[in-house]
Amino acid sequence: MIRQDTHFLIQLLPGMLRLAPVHQQAGQQPDNLCGPYWAAMLLRSRGFAVSVEQVAERAGSVVLVGDPELWLPSGATSRQEDCASLPTTHSLADAGTSVQGLMAAIEQFSASAYCCIPLMADWTADRVWQIIRLCQAHPDWEAVPLCNLKTGQLWGSRLGVSEAISYLNGQLIQPTAADWDVGHFLVLAGMVRGQINSLIWVCDTYPLFGWQGYHLQSAVAIADALNRSDGYEGGILLFTAAYFQAAVEQSVAAIGFQIAGWNNGSRDFSRR
């Protein structure tokens, strides 16, 4: 019998310390605006008063309308009315927010004080951990990794405590299936280090997921979700102060990341 060790190291990334209370206060995202939601939360956490709707307008977001059951995770309440002034579509192919639009919005609303560095790779578990370790090694960056992925490859958000302990102690587990299967933005918030394995805390846009929006994922599941396998691309936007941009870009390039935007299936309608 494998001993179930109950001593684990739980760490938040340095950039989460200011973001966490803003995220908790904001609650659930408006429908189909996960990218602008995170951009607004990141900016608010750094002292900029900006709404999700303002970010979405600047980023060129197009909102999908129709039956909310087609895009909401089970148990969530629709918030379509929150951004009624935005352009809408009934076509999934025409909806969403581009990575390029989010980058432009963050730069504009922060008056170029903050930026997002787009990172692409052939995503593996080790690649995901490299991002975590990089953020931990440079606390002055206060960097926040914003993942753009396909949720169908993730573990279900309600991983049981006994399952988490078993995994952290090196046992094989069978996590529940993903809560939903959509293109999505979520944040890598920290990690739980066990005797043999480690898990990653992700911070999500729906408080019903996990523990007030925080849930545990394996690095393998996150890598699979970033690779998407649906004809589109995924990646990580590393949010940080523009003062550190050159240092961050030098560091990520040195370990083999490509600094480039990706096609997540949403066209770039942002205002130039």
pLDDT, tens digit, for every residue of 94-127?
788 999 999 999 999 999 999 999 999 999 999 9
pLDDT for the residue 244: 98
Q: What is the pLDDT averaged over residues 234-240? A: 98
For the CA atoms of the chain, what is the radius of gyration? 18
Are 234 and 224 a contacting pair, CB within 8 Å?
Answer: no
Six-digit token string for 241: 């102060």
Burial class (CB in 10 A: 0-12, 13-18, 19+), 204: buried
The pLDDT confidence band at residue 270, using thresholds 50, 70 and 90, is: low
CA distance 132 to 157: 20
Q: Where are the beta strands (DSSP E) in the chain?
A: 9-12, 63-64, 88-89, 114-120, 144-150, 183-193, 198-203, 214-217, 235-241, 258-259
Beta strands at 88-89 and 198-203: parallel, antiparallel or unpaired? unpaired
Report the percentage of the chain scoring pLDDT > 90.
80
Residue 139 pLDDT more than 80?
yes
Residue 29 DSSP code? P
Domain boundaries, the chain: 9-259
Strand partners for 149: 184
> Measured in Å, how far apart are the chain's first and last C-alpha atoms?
61
SS3 194: coil
Six-digit token string for 151: 């949720």
pLDDT for the residue 1: 39
Residue 6 pLDDT more than 60?
yes
State the residue for tokens 């094989």: 172
pLDDT, tens digit, for every residue of 46-101?
999 999 999 999 999 998 888 877 788 988 898 876 677 888 888 877 788 999 99
* Whole-model pTM over 0.85: yes
pLDDT for the residue 272: 43
Six-digit token string for 115: 């930026």
Are 26 and 39 a contacting pair, CB within 8 Å?
Answer: no
State the residue for tokens 């949010």: 239
Best CA proximity match to 116, nearest among 39, 187, 188, 205: 39
**CATH hierarchy code of domain 9-259:** 3.90.70.10
Amino acid at the residue 170? G
Beta strands at 9-12 and 183-193: parallel, antiparallel or unpaired? antiparallel
